[in-house]
Amino acid sequence: MRLSDLLDPERVLSFLLKLAFCLVMSAVLLQFVACLLRQISPVAEFGMLCIILLLCPLAYFIRRWRQGGKPRHEGRRGAERTPMLPQNVEMR
């Protein structure tokens, strides 16, 4: 959201509604996770934490493998220029 959007009442109201919705949904999600974690043992919680910590690097390496593993060199940015001959000169 840009600073100039704060002057437009419609955009401010829209932004505030989206923000409130996101905050409410995150609170509901956190309560749901808290209820699930209360029902399982600490050993299972530790196991889930270990699985998540192993899956993150694994996903990274799979992504790198699918991309080819090598960093791609990007071409020059901008238009390619071709030399122009003067219009009054004939080609030999």
Q: pLDDT band at residue 5, thresholds of 50, 70 and 90?
A: low
Rg (alpha carbons) of the chain, rounded to whole number: 28
**Spatial contact of 12 and 6, defined as CB atoms under 8 Å apart:** yes
CB 15 within 8 Å of CB 1: yes
Q: pTM, whole model, 2 decimals?
A: 0.45
Number of H helices, E strands in the chain: 2, 0
Q: What does the pLDDT look like over 18-76, one tens digit per residue?
A: 999 999 999 999 999 888 888 888 898 899 889 999 999 999 999 988 887 566 666 66
